[in-house]
């Protein structure tokens, strides 16, 4: 008799796979491994949205200052060694089905060792760090920072184990990566050029009344006219001095941004690379794309850089309209961010398939093939 169907598959939990408990329990807590976790936290802690302002930010700055390096190292060492101990105990004391739950409960209980009044080694280190500060931080502030540290250590070690396992199981020259690599200047030119091309085409066709573009209101028409004027100024008109690698791709049909935009494009790409990581995807599985986009779009430094570039290369009367320039900034950065985030997601899927020994159907030469097809079609 066939088994009755369930109500649906349970959603996968990416925070800690039960099958990975063995790998976590055998994690070697050497000084080298602890240093890797500490360096990871030093790079990412100050950027965490939960502690980037007010008392929490000042407390973190104190924890990470040079004078407290030894004490902070002791704190990290304690976190890492406790992680290894609890993972080993959960693995040895429970059947496979309950190992993950047992470890998660034990790890959460460990946070109570830092509560005020506790006579534990962990709390003694915290008190030493607080005593050396010139400021007084209330219990809520300290608990908030320690909670973020507690979670960050968990994620850093977990990422380390997963990446190490993927690298061990991979073949050839392939290596697992948890985030995007830095792009070349040529690629940034191509990505931005493609985005500018789509933005210009949309406005040209809409202003021309092309069928399918929708009606253009009287209020929107002058705005779109100015947007088109600015976008055309952002594109290179004389392509005789572009890099040879771009000339090879170009047959007079591609658009490339002006060189003044390169530093801005690099900053946007770096911002997306910091956000598009496996750890963020696990923390915000349903809001990952929105989180990455909003973080970049709401970056006031990037927005100001774009406005300054536009002011420098576009006619003053048009460039002075902040509303129009900001609208173009959001449209352009959204396209650039989406391109890179999609690349991250595709690479992650490919990485997982390779780790599992499955065939990867991803075509890394999709863009050149599409361009070759378009050029061949025009020549017919």
For the stretch 83-124, pLDDT in tens is 888 888 887 776 777 777 888 888 899 888 888 888 888 888
- Write phi, then psi, for 15 (nearest 5 degrees): -70, -40
Residue 331 has pLDDT above 90, yes or no: yes
Query: DSSP readout, 238-295?
Result: -GGGS-HHHHHH-SS----B-GGGHHHHHHHHHHHHHHSBHHHHHHSTTTHHHHHHHH
Q: What is the pLDDT of residue 4?
A: 47
Beta strands in 10-150 (DSSP E): none
Q: What is the pLDDT of residue 13?
A: 42
Q: Which residues contact 35 (CB under 8 A, 6 or more apart)?
A: none
* Domain boundaries, given as residue ranges, for the chain: 18-169, 185-379
For the stretch 150-180, pLDDT in tens is 888 888 887 776 666 555 555 443 344 456 7
Across 19-33, 82-96, 189-203, 342-356, the highest mean pLDDT is recorded for: 189-203
Q: Among all chains, which residue has been given the structure tokens 């939990």?
A: 13
Across 1-15, 38-52, 356-370, the highest mean pLDDT is recorded for: 38-52
Residue 328 has pLDDT above 90, yes or no: yes
pTM of the full predicted structure? 0.50
Handedness of CA 211, 217, 222, 223 (dihedral sign): negative
Please state, in angstroms and rounded to a whole number, the distance separating the CA atoms of residues 307 and 251: 31
- Write phi, then psi, for 95 (nearest 5 degrees): -70, 160
Q: What is the pLDDT of residue 9?
A: 44
Q: What is the pLDDT of residue 228?
A: 92
Q: What is the pLDDT of residue 164?
A: 62
Q: What is the pLDDT of residue 360?
A: 52
- Residue 2 is classified by DSSP as P
Lowest-confidence pick of 79-88, 215-224, 361-370: 361-370
Please state, in angstroms and rounded to a whole number, the distance separating the CA atoms of residues 291 and 280: 9
Residue 56 has pLDDT above 60, yes or no: yes
For the stretch 133-145, pLDDT in tens is 888 888 889 998 9
Q: What is the pLDDT of residue 332?
A: 93
Residues 234-247 as b or e (16 or more Cβ within 10 Å = b): bbbeeeeebeeebe
For the stretch 225-270, pLDDT in tens is 999 999 999 998 888 777 777 777 766 678 889 988 988 999 999 8
Q: Which residues contact 2 (CB under 8 A, 6 or more apart)?
A: none
Q: What is the pLDDT of residue 330?
A: 92
Cβ(51)–Cβ(57) below 8 Å: yes
Residue 11 has pLDDT above 60, yes or no: no
If you average pLDDT over residues 7-17, what whole number do you get?
A: 44
Q: What is the pLDDT of residue 179?
A: 64
């Amino acid at each position: 008799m066939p088994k009755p169907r369930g109500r649906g598959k349970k959603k996968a939990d990416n925070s800690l796979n039960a099958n990975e408990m063995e790998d976590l329990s055998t994690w070697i807590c050497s000084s080298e491994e602890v240093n890797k976790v500490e360096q990871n936290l030093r790079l990412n802690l100050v950027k965490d949205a939960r502690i980037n302002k007010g008392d929490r930010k000042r407390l973190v700055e104190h924890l990470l200052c040079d004078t407290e390096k030894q004490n902070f190292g002791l704190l990290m060492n304690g976190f890492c060694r406790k992680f290894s101990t609890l993972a080993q105990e959960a693995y040895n004391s429970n059947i496979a089905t309950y190992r993950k739950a047992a470890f998660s409960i034990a790890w959460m209980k460990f946070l109570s060792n830092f509560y005020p009044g506790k006579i534990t080694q962990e709390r003694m280190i915290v008190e030493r760090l607080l005593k050396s500060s010139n400021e007084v931080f209330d219990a809520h502030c300290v608990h908030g920072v320690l909670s973020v540290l507690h979670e960050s250590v968990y994620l850093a070690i977990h990422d380390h184990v997963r990446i190490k396992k993927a690298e061990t199981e991979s073949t050839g020259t392939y290596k697992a990566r948890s985030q995007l690599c830095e792009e070349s200047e040529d690629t940034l030119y191509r990505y931005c050029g493609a985005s500018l091309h789509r933005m210009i085409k949309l406005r040209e066709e809409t202003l021309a009344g092309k069928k399918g573009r929708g009606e253009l209101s009287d209020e929107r028409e002058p705005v779109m006219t100015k947007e088109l004027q600015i976008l055309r100024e952002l594109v290179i008109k004389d392509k005789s001095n572009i890099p040879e690698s771009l000339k090879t791709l170009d047959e007079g049909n591609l658009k490339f941004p002006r060189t003044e935009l390169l530093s801005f494009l690099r900053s946007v790409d770096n911002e997306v690379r910091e956000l598009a990581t496996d750890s963020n995807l696990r923390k915000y599985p349903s809001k990952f794309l929105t989180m990455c986009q909003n973080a970049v779009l709401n970056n006031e430094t990037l927005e100001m850089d774009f406005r300054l570039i536009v002011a420098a290369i576009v006619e003053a009367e048009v460039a002075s309209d902040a509303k129009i320039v900001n609208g173009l900034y959001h449209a352009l950065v959204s396209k650039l961010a989406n391109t890179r985030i999609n690349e991250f997601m595709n690479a992650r899927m490919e990485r997982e398939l390779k780790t599992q020994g499955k065939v990867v159907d991803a075509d890394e030469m999709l863009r050149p093939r599409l361009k070759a097809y378009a050029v061949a079609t025009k020549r017919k």
